[in-house]
Amino acid sequence: MPPRRAAPLSDTFDPASVAEAEKRVRELGAVPASKLVPKGLTRTGQAAFLEALARAGLERTGTRIRVPADLQLVSRLAQGPAPMKGLAKRLAGVTEAELKRAVTRLAADASILVVMRDGKEWLTVPTGSELARAELESFRALARRIAALDKSLGAGKKTPPRTLDRNDVLAALELFSGPAVTPSNSSATPAVRILESLRRAADPQTGLARVPDAVRPVLSTMSHEEARSALLALDSSGFIELRPESGIGLLTEDDAALCPRGARGVVLSFARLIDRS
């Protein structure tokens, strides 16, 4: 009996297989590319399939397809500050080196902040409790002044006991002043900025945020369309769940214009943050 011929390879694939592969990656965070590419594709077909996943907003790194490292990191920090050490293990398909590069990119425009606590690096999205650049300069001026006052006390055996004038100490402490300033993050991607704004607007008990309340503060850095597209992308990626208004006629026309639309044109005016830890 003659051997059975192998089925010919194809350059084309079912678009539904792309959607299914994307869904799997969004759910797991990262999946080996070999487990996503359909069988029976030529090299050209395989490349086209992976390119389709890239157009869907996924990253290819080495042998894996993953949710972008930057978006994973911001989503994790939206749940609260995290220590830098060991954080890569809690992200899907992200190495220590890739985490450091993501931190460098996002910290460059203050999308996230590296905060020193007890000598250790912690990462956080801006909350307003971190020192702004001007406050850091005040703190350094205070540190220099305190160091000078301490040095003036002397420590030699032949030095008589010395003290400081309380007014001089109080004057030094006044060098550190000024309200906290939340750093600008206008250079971050629209999805990152929207996710941060949703976190700030969300109710701590329910995790729900009104979309207009989250979109309005970032409109100086993106268009209405970019904001709506970012919201839909975050929803499809599993970072948030968009929901319609709970009543009728509760939204003003201006608020409705800031919201994306769902099936049959329904206005999606609420977003629930999804825990992806």
Q: Is 178 left (phi over 0), alpha (psi -120 to 50) or beta?
A: left
Does a structural domain hold residue 202?
A: yes
Average pLDDT score over residue span 153-159: 76
Q: What is the DSSP string of 80-126?
A: --EESTTGGGGSTT--HHHHHHHHHHHHHTTSSEEEEETTEEEEE--
* pLDDT confidence of residue 184: 43
Does pLDDT of 223 surpass 70?
Answer: yes
Domains in the chain, number: 4
- Is the pTM above the cut of 0.75? no
94 and 49 belong to one structural domain: no
By CB atoms closer than 10 A (0-12, 13-18, 19+), residue 89 is exposed
Give the residue from 27, 44, 66 where a domain finishes.
66
* pLDDT confidence of residue 127: 79
Which CATH number goes with the domain that contains 203?
1.10.10
Structural domain that includes position 271: 186-277
39 and 115 belong to one structural domain: no
Least confident of 73-87, 117-131, 169-183, 243-257: 169-183
Structural contact between residues 209 and 201, judged by C-beta atoms closer than 8 angstroms: yes
Does a structural domain hold residue 228?
A: yes
Three-state secondary structure string covering 164-196: CCHHHHHHHHCCCCCCCCCCCCCCCCHHHHHHH
196 and 167 belong to one structural domain: no
140 and 205 belong to one structural domain: no
96-101, long-range: CB < 8 A, 24+ apart: 98/61, 98/69, 99/69, 99/73, 101/69
Residue identified by tokens 């069988």 is 39
107 and 148 belong to one structural domain: no
48 and 104 belong to one structural domain: no
Does a structural domain hold residue 178?
A: no
Treating both helix axes as pointing N-terminal to C-terminal, what angle do 133-152 and 166-173 enclose, rounded to 10 degrees?
Answer: 160
CB contact set of 125 (below 8 Å; sequence gap of 6+): 74, 77, 78, 111, 112, 113, 196, 199
pLDDT band at 277 (very low <50, low <70, confident <90, very high): low
Cα 251–chain centre separation: 28
Does a structural domain hold residue 192?
A: yes
94 and 117 belong to one structural domain: yes
87 and 111 belong to one structural domain: yes
165 and 197 belong to one structural domain: no
- Cα–Cα distance measured from residue 222 to residue 225, given in angstroms and rounded to the nearest whole number: 8
Does a structural domain hold residue 180?
A: no
What percent of the chain has a predicted confidence (pLDDT) above 90?
37
Does pLDDT of 42 surpass 80?
Answer: yes
160 and 84 belong to one structural domain: no
Does pLDDT of 80 surpass 80?
Answer: yes
pLDDT in tens, 158-204: 778 889 888 888 877 776 654 433 444 444 678 888 888 998 988 88
Tokens of 115: 């905060």
Does a structural domain hold residue 6?
A: no
150 and 114 belong to one structural domain: no
In angstroms, the first-to-last Cα distance of the chain is 56
pLDDT in tens, 126-141: 877 788 777 788 888 8
10 Å Cβ neighbour count for 127?
15
Does a structural domain hold residue 190?
A: yes
What percent of the chain has a predicted confidence (pLDDT) above 70?
89
Structural contact between residues 243 and 231, judged by C-beta atoms closer than 8 angstroms: no
- Cα–Cα distance measured from residue 192 to residue 188, given in angstroms and rounded to the nearest whole number: 6
pLDDT band at 92 (very low <50, low <70, confident <90, very high): very high
